Structure 1
Amino acid sequence: MKHLAALNKYFWKYRVRLSLGVLFVVLSNFFDILSPQLSGYIINMVTHAIRQNQGIHEVIKYEESGNYNFLVQWFIKWINSSAFTYSSIVILAGVMLLIMALLRGFFMFLMRQTIIVMSRHIEYDQKNEIYQHYQQLNTNFYKTHSTGDMMNRVAEDVSRVRMYAGPAIMYTINLVTTIIFCLFYMFKQNASLTWLVLSPLPILAITIYVVNNVIHKKSEIVQRSLSDLTTNAQESYSGIRVIKSFGQEKNMLGFFKKNSEEYRRNTVSLSKLEAIYFPSMTLMIGLSTLIAILSGSLQVLHGMMPGVIVEFVLYINKLTFPVSAIGWTASMIQRASASQKRINEFLQTQSPITEPEKPVTPVLNGNIVFDDVSFTYPHTGIQALRHFSLAIKEGEKVLILGKTGSGKSTIAQLLLRFYDVDEGKILLNGENIKSIPLRYLREHISYVPQDVFLFSDDITSNINFGLTHAAEAADVQEAAKYASVHNEINNLQHGYQTLVGERGVTLSGGQKQRISIARALMKGASIMLFDDCLSAVDSKTEHDIVNNLRQYLQDKTAIIITHRIFTALNFDKIVVLQDGKVLEKGTHEQLIKQNGEYAELYNLQMNTEQTAQATTEFQ
């Protein structure tokens, strides 16, 4: 139960519902426990009448000991104080049994309306808590955890925990109150017979203890198998085009069958183990019933009233479902414990990117300083930047060039605080980036990532994503025009209301990149950050976008990260990276004069463009 202790805060939050639920369980069982006593009294009364050789139509006045509930004693006094015949008493007893059954049903309804509804509220709160925690974790967490596993925790694991917070607690309280009521009146009626009836229970307790421990371990294995299966399915759905293009449907089906078989084997093993419970419960209940009948019959032969046997058999029957539910309830608790353990492990994962203790909110107009920054990716151990320094003034346009793996994208991720630097510091308007609130920092940076992501929504919503409120249609179209995608959007069947599908699957790579650029432009932040965002567009479209950006970025600070040189933009600084270090730095003219890596790349690109243009003219 130590893992499930994390739910105590929710139980305290919904303590009124929980308290009322417990009360309704007690009242439901209170009225349920009256039927064995009333039935036993009727049997004893008839037996007494037969023993006294009284006619069945004569007035019956049978005095009973005070071993019954006060309501049953009231009923006995009432019928003894009035002139009732045998038939009348039986009818009255039947009516009273019906009333008690109705009252029990009414309180059972209230019991479910409080405890089960409470569990739904807890499920809602816990899912929100997990999702909120997902939002707080840094990029490294998502690189080291699969999407399927994270989905499984917020869906399947939370559902299993809800079964504990609702049904398991309800049935446990029901079990406890039923046992207390039954044992109290059983001991009160006949202590020696009660001890005999309870003799099989130690065996039952040992069985439950042993099997519960095994169920807990197997439940953890089942949940891990389910996470692997979910991950496999999610990756197959997301990468279906790659799977089909390489003709790997059969192999992927084989992987899925392997994971599915692992999950099936584990769940079947768990189900077989759980199957021990119900036969064990039934056997113990059957033994108790047999003992009650045999021992009770021997005591009847020695003068005991037979109604006691009826009472004990009914008590045992009352205990049948609660006791048999021990296995089911214990299984739910163990599964919930295994799931809550996984949830706790996740919730206890803390992001190294934390909010500042003493936050400052400077005017972020684009004065940026990278001061001797070094950084190594924690999940790979690759050192992406080595003693990198760069000063950018407000309004400057900076081009960062480099080959794949040179550390270009790392600069963008550090500036957005997706990661924190290992050495050195990053300053914005003279303030360390770590002292600026994350939300405030990211609100003032428009970012176009290298890996474009569009949400499964319409184009307008995707362009408006970075805004706190929806923009005017004209503003959305203006941003799309700057990104050179307006005409293509208008050519779609539903224009800006076109649904782009999951991750923008209905659009081309170039269209997705340009919509992502429009989204960043729509945000209108003072710092613009473009990370290789034109790799999927043709040279003409690239030229149009760069010309548009030249106009848009006049009063903004812009960092453009790429492996190409944009000749249409006049950059204030150009930085060439190699293996995480600054290889060259200066203006276009300065770097051309150095005749180094930049000049070589520039000449190569110019020759390629001239050759392509000549080929086009010749055709």
Structure 2
Amino acid sequence: MKELKHLNKYFKKYGLKLLIGIFITIVARVFQLVMPSYVNKSIEVAENYLKNEIILTEAKSLLLEYILIIVGAALLSGFFTFLMRQTIINISRYIEYDLKNEVFDHYQSLSLNFYKKNRTGDLMNRISEDVNQVRLYGGPAIMYGIQTLTLFVCLVPLMFIKAPTLAMYALLPLPILSVLIYQISKIIHRRSTIVQEYLSTLSTFTQESFSGISVIKAYALEPKINHELETLALDGKTKSMALAKVNAWFFPLMILLIGISNIFVIYIGGQQYINGEIESIGIIAEFILYVNMLTWPVAVVGWVTSIVQRAEASQKRINQFLQERPSIVNTVTEETEIGGKIEFKNVTFTYEDTNIVALKNISFTINKGETVAILGKTGSGKSTILDLIARLYDIDSGEILIDDIPIKKLNLNSLRKSIGAVPQDAFLFSDSIKNNIKFGKQDSTDEEIIAVAKKAVVHENIMGFSKQYETVLGERGITLSGGQKQRISIARALIKEPKIYLFDDCLSAVDTETEEEILNQLKKESEDKTTLIVSHRVSSAKNADRVLVLDGGKLLQEGTHEELNSKDGYYKELYANQLSEKEK
């Protein structure tokens, strides 16, 4: 259970409530133990009456007293059992809540490399299905475990005090049961781990299928996807059935062994009564009740063992991610003021997951308030520069300075709060258009939202929707066109009013006229802001203060539009080609 030690901090947090729950559990079971002895006494009263040792009135009086005690004990046991569930099961829900928050907070702290290596479905399964398995350990397993322990601690000595020989035979099958449980639990642990890993695979497959449904339909891949899902489902059924078959052994074995205990009680107890070794037949009835009171706790031992094994397997999977350390660490606790000057000094960067060298010994300086366009072929390192400025990755060698301060010596939150980034693949949430724009500034007013939407040239499109700014988007903004998504993303960046704008080919899905209008608006908006525009179009770069041309991760050309267009090279050739295409 070493993996489950991670939960000890939560048990400590809710320690008082847990102790109260344990105390209530013990009280509930103690009241339950009252009933069998009074059943025995009731039978003794009947026997004494039949032997003419007591009169009818006295027998009735005693029976009424004992029945009231039995009913009262049963009611009190039921009441405390209710309180027990309300206490311990609630604690398990608190632990589930805290653990999910811990996992989610840790997910958010991890770097992009982590998300490149792990699939969304697996991440979701660990925070949902795995945490739920752990919750069962934090609640039902503890509750029933305490119940079982209390009954065994109180009941077994009581049975030996009342009739040692009968108790020995009644409890004889339990050691056999313990050995069987131990052997079966090892198999359950192994198969539980396999099932949990399979569930992650299934979650990943379904999540990707739903996200890529438009591609699946466009390529008529439904039969292929259905076949793959059927294969996965059959494989999952095999794994789950293998686990279910082992679990299925628990209850039949327990019922069988409890049945054997009852037979021993009746047979041995009957012989002892006939031989006069026990005075009343009521002791046999009492022991039958004791044995049957042990039936559920003993059965629960197997169930609790199964829960603990599943929880151990799930917590191990959770701990694997919790032990992941973010590669990007905020080393400065104080807030940092960001001006906007950016400098790269001999920067080299290699992507860890692919070993592709994206930038090779690159150097340039962008002054505060300057607008710089970055052009180049696909894979030349344009987007990488923007990612490094936002410190989504740390470089291999060289130095990145913001306002003449090394980027690692800046408060990471301050840096990212000062950046308004618009990625090429615009991501919108399944929420209203208004809230998607407000994502850049949570306390923005409706007037501010409309103003930035107009600057992003998307206001007219939004007003054309039936619910306008309250229109709820589909997942990832699927209900909008590519250009509309890009322009709403631009509005989201503008409303943030950052010190640095990073536009990563964010106008690729709009026509040239709309692009021109948006660029004019952006030029006005970013007059005193440092702006980097990554693009494949020269039209996005010609009004910039400077242009950087990249090729193969190296800085190929640098200068103004006029300077680069006046000399032979990649920029002049690109401008001529795009100009001729426009004229056609």
Instruction: Measure how far apart 1:57 and its partner are.
Output: 2.7
Given that 2:28 and 2:81 are in contact with CA atoms closer than 8 Å, whether structure 1 keeps it comes out as yes
CA shift in 2, pair 1:218/1:492, >3 Å: same
> Any idea what the Cα deviations from partners look like across 1:497-541, whole Å, max 9, x if unmatched?
111221111110000000001111111101111001011111111
Instruction: Measure how far apart 1:216 and its partner are.
Output: 0.8
Q: In the alignment, which of 54, 57, 69 is matched to residue 55 of structure 2?
A: 57
Match of 2:392 in 1: 418
- Matches of residues 355-434 of structure 1 in structure 2 within 5 Å? 355-356=330-331, 358-359=332-333, 361-434=335-408
Match of 1:351 in 2: 326
Matched residues in 1 for 2:269 and 2:510: separation?
A: 90
2:161 aligns to what SS in structure 1? helix
> Any idea what the Cα deviations from partners look like across 1:191-246, whole Å, max 9, x if unmatched?
22222222212211111111111111111111111111111111111111111110
Which residue identity is paired with 2:324? T
Match of 1:225 in 2: 198
Match of 2:220 in 1: 247
Matched residues in 2 for 1:375 and 1:243: separation?
A: 36
Is residue 2:238 matched to residue 1:265?
yes
1:370 aligns to what SS in structure 2? strand
2:363 aligns to what SS in structure 1? strand
Match of 1:331 in 2: 306
Match of 2:291 in 1: 316
Given that 2:40 and 2:285 are in contact with CA atoms closer than 8 Å, whether structure 1 keeps it comes out as yes
Matched residues in 2 for 1:14 and 1:324: separation?
A: 28
Instruction: Measure how far apart 1:274 and its partner are.
Output: 0.2
> Any idea what the Cα deviations from partners look like across 1:59-112, whole Å, max 9, x if unmatched?
xxxxxxxxxxxxxxxxxxxxxxxxx61122112111110000011011001101
> Any idea what the Cα deviations from partners look like across 1:232-289, whole Å, max 9, x if unmatched?
1111111111111100001011111111112111111111110000011111111111
Given that 1:363 and 1:429 are in contact with CA atoms closer than 8 Å, whether structure 2 keeps it comes out as no
Instruction: Measure how far apart 1:4 and its partner are.
Output: 1.2
> Any idea what the Cα deviations from partners look like across 1:386-408, whole Å, max 9, x if unmatched?
11111110111111111111111
Is residue 2:151 matched to residue 1:178?
yes
CA shift in 2, pair 1:350/1:568, >3 Å: closer
CA shift in 2, pair 1:568/1:131, >3 Å: closer
Match of 1:149 in 2: 122
Instruction: Measure how far apart 1:335 and its partner are.
Output: 1.1
Given that 1:543 and 1:568 are in contact with CA atoms closer than 8 Å, whether structure 2 keeps it comes out as no
1:447 aligns to what SS in structure 2? strand
1:247 aligns to what SS in structure 2? coil
Match of 2:15 in 1: 15
2:345 aligns to what SS in structure 1? strand
Matched residues in 2 for 1:584 and 1:298: separation?
A: 105
Which residue identity is paired with 2:354? T
Which residue identity is paired with 2:20? L
Matched residues in 2 for 1:48 and 1:435: separation?
A: 91
Given that 1:547 and 1:568 are in contact with CA atoms closer than 8 Å, whether structure 2 keeps it comes out as no
CA shift in 2, pair 1:371/1:277, >3 Å: same
Is residue 2:1 matched to residue 1:27?
no
- Matches of residues 76-95 of structure 1 in structure 2 within 5 Å? 85-95=58-68
1:584 aligns to what SS in structure 2? strand
Given that 1:362 and 1:429 are in contact with CA atoms closer than 8 Å, whether structure 2 keeps it comes out as no
CA shift in 2, pair 1:320/1:406, >3 Å: same
Matched residues in 1 for 2:569 and 2:216: separation?
A: 43
Matched residues in 2 for 1:205 and 1:422: separation?
A: 57
Match of 2:468 in 1: 495
Given that 2:535 and 2:541 are in contact with CA atoms closer than 8 Å, whether structure 1 keeps it comes out as no
Instruction: Measure how far apart 1:122 and its partner are.
Output: 0.9
Is residue 2:501 matched to residue 1:528?
yes
Instruction: Measure how far apart 1:553 and its partner are.
Output: 1.6
Question: Greater Rg, structure 1 or structure 2?
Answer: 1
> Any idea what the Cα deviations from partners look like across 1:277-329, whole Å, max 9, x if unmatched?
00111111111111111111121122112222122111101100111111111
Given that 1:546 and 1:568 are in contact with CA atoms closer than 8 Å, whether structure 2 keeps it comes out as no
Matched residues in 2 for 1:149 and 1:556: separation?
A: 40
Matched residues in 1 for 2:200 and 2:286: separation?
A: 50
Is residue 2:576 matched to residue 1:608?
no
Once the two structures are aligned, what percentage of the paired residues are identical? Answer: 46
Matched residues in 2 for 1:480 and 1:49: separation?
A: 94
Matched residues in 2 for 1:480 and 1:262: separation?
A: 50
Which residue identity is paired with 2:99? Q
Instruction: Measure how far apart 1:361 and its partner are.
Output: 4.3
Matched residues in 2 for 1:313 and 1:6: separation?
A: 42
> Any idea what the Cα deviations from partners look like across 1:381-439, whole Å, max 9, x if unmatched?
11111111111101111111111111111111111111111111211111111121221
Matched residues in 1 for 2:538 and 2:566: separation?
A: 16
CA shift in 2, pair 1:552/1:569, >3 Å: farther
- Matches of residues 67-78 of structure 1 in structure 2 within 5 Å? none
Matched residues in 2 for 1:111 and 1:94: separation?
A: 25
2:430 aligns to what SS in structure 1? coil
Given that 1:547 and 1:569 are in contact with CA atoms closer than 8 Å, whether structure 2 keeps it comes out as no
CA shift in 2, pair 1:217/1:595, >3 Å: same
> Any idea what the Cα deviations from partners look like across 1:563-607, whole Å, max 9, x if unmatched?
111267532221111111111112222222331111111111111
1:559 aligns to what SS in structure 2? strand
- TM-score normalised to the size of structure 2? 0.97
> Any idea what the Cα deviations from partners look like across 1:434-466, whole Å, max 9, x if unmatched?
121221110101000111100111111111102
Match of 2:440 in 1: 466
Given that 1:355 and 1:437 are in contact with CA atoms closer than 8 Å, whether structure 2 keeps it comes out as yes
Instruction: Measure how far apart 1:42 and its partner are.
Output: 2.5
Matched residues in 2 for 1:441 and 1:114: separation?
A: 45
Matched residues in 2 for 1:325 and 1:359: separation?
A: 50
Matched residues in 2 for 1:536 and 1:568: separation?
A: 16
2:338 aligns to what SS in structure 1? coil
- TM-score normalised to the size of structure 1? 0.92
Match of 2:484 in 1: 511
1:566 aligns to what SS in structure 2? helix
Instruction: Measure how far apart 1:362 and its partner are.
Output: 4.2
Given that 1:27 and 1:104 are in contact with CA atoms closer than 8 Å, whether structure 2 keeps it comes out as yes
Q: In the alignment, which of 554, 564, 578 is matched to residue 591 of structure 1?
A: 564
Is residue 2:43 matched to residue 1:38?
no
Which residue identity is paired with 2:242? S
Is residue 2:445 matched to residue 1:476?
no
Given that 2:45 and 2:63 are in contact with CA atoms closer than 8 Å, whether structure 1 keeps it comes out as no
Given that 1:445 and 1:529 are in contact with CA atoms closer than 8 Å, whether structure 2 keeps it comes out as yes
Instruction: Measure how far apart 1:46 and its partner are.
Output: 3.5
CA shift in 2, pair 1:567/1:161, >3 Å: closer
Given that 1:574 and 1:585 are in contact with CA atoms closer than 8 Å, whether structure 2 keeps it comes out as yes
Matched residues in 2 for 1:253 and 1:568: separation?
A: 47
Matched residues in 2 for 1:601 and 1:17: separation?
A: 71
2:2 aligns to what SS in structure 1? coil
Match of 1:299 in 2: 272
Instruction: Measure how far apart 1:56 and its partner are.
Output: 5.7
User: How many aligned residue pairs are there?
Assistant: 582
Given that 1:546 and 1:566 are in contact with CA atoms closer than 8 Å, whether structure 2 keeps it comes out as no
2:358 aligns to what SS in structure 1? strand
Given that 2:337 and 2:414 are in contact with CA atoms closer than 8 Å, whether structure 1 keeps it comes out as no
1:29 aligns to what SS in structure 2? helix
Is residue 2:518 matched to residue 1:545?
yes
